[in-house]
Structure 1
């Protein structure tokens, strides 16, 4: 259920930013392009050496060839369902793999945004630990947590209605700490660690 809700939010964000022609996210399971466009940009040439991100890098190549012609199709008829990871280990490995492509993005405007999002999430465990030395930080942690939840809930609610997924606010609140945890871990290991993918270790 967590993976379903998490991926739904990612797709909702993707739709929002692509509709503004801010090409910050893409998912290979939900992308379509013409054979002509694929061949004009030489397909995956030059980006086939990476374990994750070829979908986004291909999108960048096509967007460069066809400026302003990349769209997000908001229609229930084109929603693609994919299988969830079966274990938490495979889930974390998947998210670490996704995070590993950050330094390959062509649009350098993304990097400050990604760094800001990561530092924001990192602030939660920092405040949690700091609270053992001064309880004032726990109150700041609570305020920050509530602010994050209130800001993100309208996005979650909108996405759940479109994708037909439970918009239970209690579950959304319950899953927030787990989302923060995996963001911090995947961001760190995605850039400085290793992960398992298709039976092999990737650095």
Structure 2
């Protein structure tokens, strides 16, 4: 029965963590920018790394064109990462057809044989940027009309040097999309709570902003440029070490970037392995402790399941902890889902718990020891 006791201790630690996240998320001030006057003191360079994004790039550029922020106060720089399709020509045509809007430029990434093409693409775009703030998003995203206005507002109100902002998956009527949506809501809530309380550094590269001079001050991606991913969180931590009190989370519905979820289970697992692969590179020991606790707690379910074939009482313990895990997480994810307008998806939350536990164990293991595919490349 010692196994049940250890799982119980892990659950108590996990419950304290989730309750902390719940309270912290609810304490983040909600920003509403609709109807507010535009502050023209802040200018933005939007950097978009793109590789084989012919299907997605025009909808993104069109959404950026519809920004409520004055077009002369921001520019768009698309960095084409050796695309094999017509991504580059589509960007050039869109720029030529929309000369009256914001400046849109295409840069072709030079050099091959890198392990971190995305960081190189962002770095190349920043080197060409004209404005004081860098705003990053991905080529498969859609930006709401109040996106830049919301960023400008939080810059004015809190004077940050780095801003983490909300991201949501585009909803599709598939099981894999539903599962990812619920899982991602949890990650987004933890991101907001942890940044607001300054307990560890989390963000998503699909929606973040930082001052260009601060990027240069911390020497950009130097020191993390050999790691394939981490253009978001690893950079964020470098900046946090220099400015620990000037990292902000933008809790605004007008700033939610929508992005496509992985289309298949295989692509989803591959994506999570890529995200997990950054864990061994984190300099932020605070987040490593959290990840370790979460991994141990989820692993205890697998151990209980295996032990159940020896003694059926472990199956009962497994179900009890499964239920308790759901109960402690539900208020948290309900509050986050309300912010993102996804309450209707919560009815599947309990049923997806075993799948969530399984993928957490698998992705965490393979992220540490495996390789993965990213944009058609095999990287580590």
Whether the TM-score (by the shorter chain) exceeds 0.5 is yes
Deviations along 1:157-192, one digit per CA (max 9) or x if unpaired, are 001100001344430111111111110000010112
Residue 81 of structure 1 aligns with which residue?
258
**1:155 equivalent in alignment to 2:358:** no
Give the distance between the partners of 1:173 and 1:49, measured in 2 at CA.
Answer: 39
> How far apart are the structure 2 equivalents of 1:130 and 1:43?
49
Q: Within 2, Cα distance between the matches of 1:104 and 1:198? A: 21
Root-mean-square deviation (CA), in Å?
Answer: 1.3
Q: Relative to total residues, which structure has the larger strand share, 1 or 2?
A: 2
Q: Relative to 1, partners in 2 of residues 1:93 and 1:128: Cα closer, same or farther, differing over 3 Å?
A: same
Return the offset for 1:113: 2.0
State how many pairs are aligned. 203
TM-score (ref. length: structure 2): 0.52
| Structure 1 residue ranges, 4+ long, deviating more than 3 angstroms after superposition | none
1:143 and 2:326 are equivalent in the alignment: no
Gaps of 5+ in 2: 1-177
SS class of match (1:142): helix
1:42 and 2:246 aligned = no
Q: Could you list the runs of 5+ residues in structure 1 that have no partner in the other structure? A: none
Instruction: Specify which structure has the higher proportion of helix.
Output: 1
Alignment check: 8 A CA contact 1:41 1:62 kept: yes
Structure 2: how far apart are the matches of 1:103 and 1:130?
Answer: 30
Partner Cα separation in structure 1 for residue 229 and residue 344 of structure 2: 30
Contact 1:161–1:167 at 8 Å: present in 2 too?
Answer: no
- Whether the 8 Å contact between 1:25 and 1:56 is mirrored in structure 2 is yes
Q: Distance in 1 between matches of 2:341 and 2:219?
A: 37
CA deviation digits over 1:111-152, x for unaligned, max 9?
222111101101112111211110010111011101100010
Q: Deviations over 1:33-60 (max 9, x none)?
A: 1212212212212212111222111111
Larger radius of gyration between Structure 1 and Structure 2: 2
Tell me: higher relative CO, structure 1 or 2? Use CA pairs within 8 A at least 6 residues apart. Answer: 1
- The match for 2:209 among 32, 37, 41 is 32
